[in-house]
Amino acid sequence: MCEEKHSSHEVREAALTDLRAIQNLHNALCHFEYESGFDPDIDLERSYSTQFTEYLGSRISEPTGVTLVATSQGVVVGYLLGSVNDGPKGKRAKLESMFVLPEYRRRGVGRGLVSAFLHWMQGVEALAATVAVAPRNHSAVTLYRKLGFLDHTLVLEARPDSTVASKGNTPTIASS
């Protein structure tokens, strides 16, 4: 994969020396999603767990997908994890997670990471790329749409404390 250079940053495949920086960024992503109310169940300790550390290490050293970092003046300021799966509709690339430090947003860093991911996707001959994003994460939704992602599937979730049944309006279920 070729490196993408922009005026203030560079996107490249990650090296094992980037592992701690990716963990720190992933931890910032988890806290951002939790504090924004996008994922109240997110594991805030996962980023530094042995399991996640081993997962990242294997993703970098034995790529079954792609792990990208964006750097500015030698400092990792963003990352992206992607994978590819063969399914009933053919090969699909999945953007698993991405995070850019707040002070580097709106500078083309996210665009550079996603563009490199889409370039990688073509190289592995995937038919399409997917990304799951919290609908209220307007900045991310806007970025993905600008880069060609279209709304495809809407997944809704109900929690026990937000259902009709929890509010004392439990319907009677007739048995036959």
Asked whether residue 174 is domain-assigned, the answer is no
pTM, full prediction: 0.82
Total domains in the fold of the chain: 1
> Has residue 130 got a pLDDT over 70?
yes
Asked whether residue 159 is domain-assigned, the answer is no
Per residue in 83-97, pLDDT tens? 998 888 889 999 999
Per-residue pLDDT band at 75 (split at 50, 70, 90) = very high
CATH of the domain at 37: 3.40.630.30
Asked whether residue 126 is domain-assigned, the answer is yes
Per residue in 46-73, pLDDT tens? 999 999 999 999 889 876 799 999 999 9
What residue spans of the chain are helical by DSSP H? 19-35, 50-61, 109-123, 138-146
Asked whether residue 173 is domain-assigned, the answer is no
Asked whether residue 166 is domain-assigned, the answer is no
Residue range of the domain that includes 113: 4-152
Q: Which residue do the tokens 């805030």 mark?
A: 44
Q: How far apart are CA 33 and CA 51, in angstroms?
A: 21
Asked whether residue 161 is domain-assigned, the answer is no
- The answer to whether 56 and 43 are in contact (CB under 8 A) is no
Per-residue pLDDT band at 37 (split at 50, 70, 90) = confident
Asked whether residue 140 is domain-assigned, the answer is yes
Asked whether residue 42 is domain-assigned, the answer is yes
